[in-house]
Structure 1
Amino acid sequence: MCGIAGYIGRRCLPDDAVRRCHAAMRHRGPDGSGTFRRCTADGRHVLLLHARLSILDPDPRSGQPMQRGGGVLAFNGELYNFSEVRERLERGGLAFDTTGDTEVLLRALDPQGRSLLCGGHAAEDLLHGMAGALDACEGMWAFAYFDASRGTLVLGRDRFGEKPLYYLRDDDGGLYFGSEPKLLAALTGRPLRPDTEHLRRYLVNGYKSLYKTRQTFFAGLRQVPAGTMLAADAGGLRGLCYWERPHAAHDPVQEDMSFADAVRGTRERLIRSVELRLRADVPLAFCMSGGIDSNSLICIARRVFGYDVHGFTVMNTDARYEERECVEHVVRELGLRHTSVSPSVAGFLDGLRTLVRAHDAPVLTISYYVHWLLMQRIRQQGYAISISGTAADELFTGYYDHHNLYLAAMYGSGALYDKALENWRRHVAPVVRNPYLQDPEVFVHAPQERGHIYLHNDRFAGALRQPFDEPFTEHAYHAVPLRNRMLNELFHEAVPVILHEDDLNAMYHSVENRSPFLDRDLFDFSLRIPVRHLVRDGMAKAVLREAMRGIVPDMILDNRRKVGFNAPVLDFLDVRDSAVRAQVLADSPVWDFVRRDAVAQLLDGRSLGNSESKFLFNILCCKMFLEDCADA
């Protein structure tokens, strides 16, 4: 895990810009830094910058940007199967000077490595050849690769978008790139301008709307899409999607797959994914909740691989989400080291402002304010890696609307549907608060109903000074609505937000975050599981639960509660304090977008519903973000 930044174009960026950028990215890589400059034959300037967080082969010999032959690489992430890829390259005659993954990726991307990994017939086109090499790689990455012989710079991002990579095109065709927006501002020497439409989207429709568009919180700033490479050369900028996502015309489900086969295949692949992600030359910490997601990873690490697990837990103050009993049960049964973090409300506004400034954006949910505190504790305990359970819900079901969508998928199947409906009424109905989802057959009668996702957005639009009305949309990935929802959550709604916030929170404290559920083989297999196996006895993640039987304690596997951190903003914001109220309502550029009287009414309320609490938090973050932009 590191930071990368750079430029290709007609300008020769001054040393002051390089120093500013290195200073701005030091938190991403406190263990070393490097600079590469080159002028191409046609007069374009190439700049690659790197800040290193040492995870594999901490020796300075693995410093970056790394050069071998005519290739130069600045790499952020981890190539988990680097040992296997290295063996293939060594069998083809390549020699290595380091023991880490950076040189393996660099050699894989160069012409000889591409030929070896692609069976001796690497495509002549640079991007297609590199795509063949990346097909052999399992990991998370954002990289800049310069091919000196061609004078071409290639930017690449991993399949699921775990690692960030922003880019900005200048008026003269120059291309700036970096791991965070602040790095591009440092290189250009000028502040980035807020994208006011995207801010209104966030305020009205919430975080699930943000990755349905290419826009970011800054005008003109874009991210390299997940699973994509961009090549900048004398002819301009071109792209290649090297990993195809599923689409509606392609249904890989194996309807003859038994539940036992689904369980066995999931167990094998998740264990292998954890094994790969335990590879490091430094110790790892585990984010730990009381749910099945994190405990699957923790228990595999402990019971299958004998890893000395240290779990870190945020203890919830909201009784609806409190999970201390489950956490303590696992800690006792497995003999884990454990640290709990109790979030403090003291200094909330100052802390939130610090976090908004670090994110170069509004913080997308209040849970990530608390997650930031958790990452701080992990780093204080001496860890540079954290492992989390991101994406289990999107691969194996887990959200409340998945139960309703499962009922719609089973509708018309006779006794199977009747039993599923009975279980829904017994186990799910008593805990569902979203009014749309209180109807078990909502998706039977209206398969495209999505009002539960942008709940109350009409009220929030009414609090803005300028109208904003953007209806809900989703991509067509799969013919079965449940599967299609899960894939939209994975690629456009929930997981991109989690990955964005995880990366920034962890890297603020110089910690790398790993997500074993985001494994290509596990993902591909999960898509082949018949929908009828996904929910059983009114319990989501039915396949994952049974796959972990005998590894994860039964108390966790048989727990029906949907757990996870959540907190109302008023738990942190004492609006009865006149100084706090004055600070929230103080003059600010945000009032050009939001009616101040509407916010005052929210502060006057004795309690806020879940949607209103999120809206008030979003306004606070937008206020701080716009104030920082105005001061830049």
Structure 2
Amino acid sequence: MCGIAGAITTKPLDGARLLRVLDRMRSRGPDGCGHAVLPLGQRALSLMHTRLSIVDLDARSDQPFRKHGMTLIYNGEVYNYPELRDELKSLGAVFETTGDTEVILEAYRQWGTDAVKRFEGMWAFALHDPARDILLLSRDRFGEKPLYVWSRPDGFYFASEVKALAVMVGEKPGVNTGQIRRYLVNGYKSLYAAGETFYQGVVEFPAGSVAVIRDDGGVVPHSYWSVGYAPVEMTLEDAAAQTRDHVVNAIEYRLRADVPVAVRLSGGIDSNIIAGVAQNVLGRKVTAFSVLDDDPRYDETASIVRAVDYFGCDHHAIRIPKTGFLDRMERLIDYFDGPLMTISYYLHALVSEAIHEAGFKVSLGGTGADELFSGYYDHYLFWLASQKDRPDFENLVEEWRGTYGRFVRNPFLQNPRAFIERPAARDHIFLGAERFAGFLKEPFAEPHSEGHYSEDPLRGRMLNELFVETVPVMLHEDDLAAMAFSVENRAAFLDSRLAEFLSTVPTRHLVHGGLPKYLLRQAGQGIAAPDIMENPRKQGINAPVTNMIDVTDPTVRAAILDNSPFYDIVDRAKVETFLGQGTTLNSESKFLFSLISAKLFMDGAAAADL
């Protein structure tokens, strides 16, 4: 994990500015830094890199990495680098390092831009090839590693973080208030569908893409990977066995590091399977970190204690602090260059801080498992809709009532036939949007829309979430919550081979015996606590914001309601009334967090300091 930045300009960035960019990316790479200025056609290419040493800790793998006249800056991990290195050696390549950075460069030398199709991992890189007089940009399939681009009249800029773009350019990009409104009214699931960021003119380089850039700075990304639903007939037993093999391989790859790896452990099945595979299949010593809350709606203490007892692993428990919430939020938002999407990432940052303080540089988490294996409450109802013609359909409904259906709080999802009666209904996704729009000074209404990925109702939702609605947002937040404390976050299940296999599994196998994520639960049999594997309730890191902040405290209320550009778009009087009403619904608690997060972001964005 590292930080990268670059600029294609008429004149190279001066030395002082290069050093300032490196300083701004220090938390992404505290173990080393470097820069290079190279010709690209009639322009100058300035490249910057900060390093967090994970694989091949020697300075020989520092970046910018130069070989064969080419120069590479790279953020991420290519997990299958040992296999690729052996293949490249058989083709005549000679290696001077033992890490993955040199493998990327040699793979490009051998296979050109098609090299990225052979990589299994997470990355954002820029590779300068003087022989072709090009710069190659690429980003991993799921978008685990960030890459922002800003095309301006004076040049083309790219970086791991918006703050680095601002330093390179010498000014902050303007706040995109339309995206703020979208976030407040429709929530985080609406953000990537809009194709915008919280900054005017700044966009993300698309995941799963590569672009060849010449000195004119024109960028036309081309997709090199996609996955869709293409079922192949197989038995439930075959699906479960192959899933387990792929899950084990995916986790084994993501444990590759020359430094210790931590596991972010919740009471849910995803993180327990990660810990179970690591310890009980691969023989790796597990050190787990968990955040605990006293609220009975979210308290996972009993499940986490059960997991720790089962594994007998080292465990660090982090209690959610009851003070200092606004100060922590200000610091995190300053680093995130945007609002925190949900309170889960405030908690993720708490865990990352503890992981860093314990001396770890890498953590594993379960991001993407719900979208790959079908883990959300609405997924079960979409699955029921896909199975409506089965002769045992009424039995399936009763199974739902006795398991997942017992825990559903969203009123739109309490009818097991919801998507049979209204297949296109998506009321549950932007829950409360009309009410929340009433807080804005100007009208805002943007109905939910989704891409057409599959005729199968469940697979269509899962693929929308995987590529647009949830996973891109979670990966963005995962990266920042970890890198704020110089920790590399790895998503254990976002493996292309696993995703490709699951795309061939018939939908009917995704739920069984009243349990969603059935195939993943089966993968955990014998390696994680059985009662956790069989728990029908969805578990995850969460807590209400009112557990961390007392909005009746006059000092807190004054901080939330003080003068701000935020109140140019939001009605302050309505916020004040809202603070006095209390938040009894989960959607209200989430909206309160969004108000605070967006307000603090706009306060910080208005500051002059770069």
Q: TM-score range by the shorter chain?
A: over 0.9
Matching of residues 351-430 of structure 1 within 5 Å: 351-415=328-392, 417-430=393-406
Residue equivalent to 2:234: 257
Rounded Cα–Cα distance in structure 1 between residues aligned with 2:223 and 2:558: 51
Residue equivalent to 1:54: 53
Rounded Cα–Cα distance in structure 2 between residues aligned with 1:234 and 1:389: 40
Question: Per the alignment, do residues 419 and 243 of structure 1 end up closer, same or farther by CA in structure 2, a change over 3 Å counting?
Answer: farther
Matching of residues 95-244 of structure 1 within 5 Å: 95-110=94-109, 113-114=110-111, 129-130=112-113, 132-172=114-154, 174-244=155-225
Report the count of equivalent residues. Answer: 608
Residue equivalent to 2:595: 619
Matching of residues 285-300 of structure 1 within 5 Å: 285-300=262-277
| AA matched with 1:589 | P
| AA matched with 1:192 | P
Deviations 1:217-256 (A, max 9, x none): 0000011100011222035424343433235xxx4111x2
Secondary structure (helix, strand or coil) at the match of 1:290 reads: coil
Deviations 1:88-135 (A, max 9, x none): 10001110000010000111112xx21xxxxxxxxxxxxxx31x2111
Secondary structure (helix, strand or coil) at the match of 2:435 reads: helix
Q: Which stretch shifts more, 485-494 or 569-578?
A: 569-578
| AA matched with 1:159 | R
* Greater than 4 Å deviation, 4+ residue runs: none
1:496, CA displacement in angstroms? 1.0
Which structure 1 residue ranges, 5 or more long, are not aligned? 115-128
| AA matched with 2:6 | G
1:547, CA displacement in angstroms? 2.1
Secondary structure (helix, strand or coil) at the match of 2:13 reads: coil
Residue equivalent to 2:10: 10
Residue equivalent to 2:93: 94
1:562, CA displacement in angstroms? 0.9
1:498, CA displacement in angstroms? 1.1
| AA matched with 2:42 | G
Residue equivalent to 1:591: 567
| AA matched with 1:149 | A
Q: Percent identity?
A: 45
Q: Which stretch shifts more, 423-432 or 516-525?
A: 423-432
| AA matched with 1:138 | E
Rounded Cα–Cα distance in structure 1 between residues aligned with 2:318 and 2:601: 27
Residue equivalent to 1:282: 259
1:428, CA displacement in angstroms? 2.8
Question: Is 2:25 the partner of 1:25?
Answer: yes
Residue equivalent to 1:319: 296
2:432 corresponds, among 450, 456, 462, to 456
Rounded Cα–Cα distance in structure 2 between residues aligned with 1:262 and 1:556: 21
Q: Tell whether the 8 Å contact from 1:27 to 1:509 is kept in structure 2 after alignment.
A: yes
1:214, CA displacement in angstroms? 1.8
| AA matched with 2:208 | G
| AA matched with 1:272 | N
Residue equivalent to 1:119: none
Rounded Cα–Cα distance in structure 1 between residues aligned with 2:374 and 2:224: 23
Residue equivalent to 2:280: 303
| AA matched with 2:182 | R
Residue equivalent to 2:248: 271
Rounded Cα–Cα distance in structure 2 between residues aligned with 1:62 and 1:194: 37
Residue equivalent to 1:124: none
Question: Per the alignment, do residues 286 and 395 of structure 1 end up closer, same or farther by CA in structure 2, a change over 3 Å counting?
Answer: same
1:194, CA displacement in angstroms? 0.3
Q: Tell whether the 8 Å contact from 2:404 to 2:537 is kept in structure 1 after alignment.
A: no
Secondary structure (helix, strand or coil) at the match of 1:253 reads: coil
Rounded Cα–Cα distance in structure 1 between residues aligned with 2:402 and 2:282: 38
Matching of residues 556-571 of structure 1 within 5 Å: 556-571=532-547
Rounded Cα–Cα distance in structure 1 between residues aligned with 2:582 and 2:575: 13
Rounded Cα–Cα distance in structure 2 between residues aligned with 1:552 and 1:202: 37
Deviations 1:26-80 (A, max 9, x none): 110000001111123x420011100000001111000001011132100000010
Rounded Cα–Cα distance in structure 2 between residues aligned with 1:244 and 1:144: 19
Rounded Cα–Cα distance in structure 2 between residues aligned with 1:406 and 1:313: 32
| AA matched with 2:17 | A
Residue equivalent to 1:122: none
Q: Tell whether the 8 Å contact from 1:246 to 1:477 is kept in structure 2 after alignment.
A: no
Deviations 1:550-600 (A, max 9, x none): 122211111111111222222222122111111111111111010011111
- When normalised by structure 2's length, the TM-score is 0.98
Q: Tell whether the 8 Å contact from 1:228 to 1:239 is kept in structure 2 after alignment.
A: no
Which structure 2 residue ranges, 5 or more long, are not aligned? none
Rounded Cα–Cα distance in structure 2 between residues aligned with 1:103 and 1:25: 22
Rounded Cα–Cα distance in structure 2 between residues aligned with 1:510 and 1:86: 28
Residue equivalent to 2:506: 530
Rounded Cα–Cα distance in structure 1 between residues aligned with 2:91 and 2:132: 24
| AA matched with 1:480 | D
Secondary structure (helix, strand or coil) at the match of 1:631 reads: coil
Question: Is 2:546 the partner of 1:546?
Answer: no
Rounded Cα–Cα distance in structure 2 between residues aligned with 1:229 and 1:381: 37
Deviations 1:109-168 (A, max 9, x none): 12xx21xxxxxxxxxxxxxx31x2111110100001111122211211000000000010
Question: Is 2:21 the partner of 1:43?
Answer: no
Question: Is 2:461 the partner of 1:485?
Answer: yes
Q: Tell whether the 8 Å contact from 1:144 to 1:155 is kept in structure 2 after alignment.
A: yes
Question: Is 2:473 the partner of 1:497?
Answer: yes
Rounded Cα–Cα distance in structure 2 between residues aligned with 1:449 and 1:560: 25
| AA matched with 1:96 | F
Deviations 1:430-480 (A, max 9, x none): 321111101111100111100000001001111100111111011111110
Q: Tell whether the 8 Å contact from 1:246 to 1:478 is kept in structure 2 after alignment.
A: no
- When normalised by structure 1's length, the TM-score is 0.95
1:373, CA displacement in angstroms? 0.8
Secondary structure (helix, strand or coil) at the match of 2:218 reads: strand
| AA matched with 2:343 | I
Q: Tell whether the 8 Å contact from 1:316 to 1:565 is kept in structure 2 after alignment.
A: no
Cα RMSD (Å): 1.2
Q: Which stretch shifts more, 177-186 or 536-545?
A: 536-545
Q: Tell whether the 8 Å contact from 2:210 to 2:224 is kept in structure 1 after alignment.
A: no
Question: Is 2:322 the partner of 1:340?
Answer: no
1:83, CA displacement in angstroms? 0.3
Rounded Cα–Cα distance in structure 2 between residues aligned with 1:100 and 1:547: 31
Q: Which stretch shifts more, 205-214 or 5-14?
A: 5-14
Q: Tell whether the 8 Å contact from 1:436 to 1:452 is kept in structure 2 after alignment.
A: yes
1:181, CA displacement in angstroms? 0.1
Q: Tell whether the 8 Å contact from 2:231 to 2:503 is kept in structure 1 after alignment.
A: yes
| AA matched with 2:178 | E
Rounded Cα–Cα distance in structure 1 between residues aligned with 2:215 and 2:559: 51
Q: Tell whether the 8 Å contact from 2:33 to 2:49 is kept in structure 1 after alignment.
A: yes
| AA matched with 1:28 | R
Q: Tell whether the 8 Å contact from 2:74 to 2:126 is kept in structure 1 after alignment.
A: yes
Q: Tell whether the 8 Å contact from 1:75 to 1:102 is kept in structure 2 after alignment.
A: yes
Q: Tell whether the 8 Å contact from 2:12 to 2:37 is kept in structure 1 after alignment.
A: no
Q: Tell whether the 8 Å contact from 2:361 to 2:488 is kept in structure 1 after alignment.
A: yes
Q: Tell whether the 8 Å contact from 1:599 to 1:616 is kept in structure 2 after alignment.
A: no
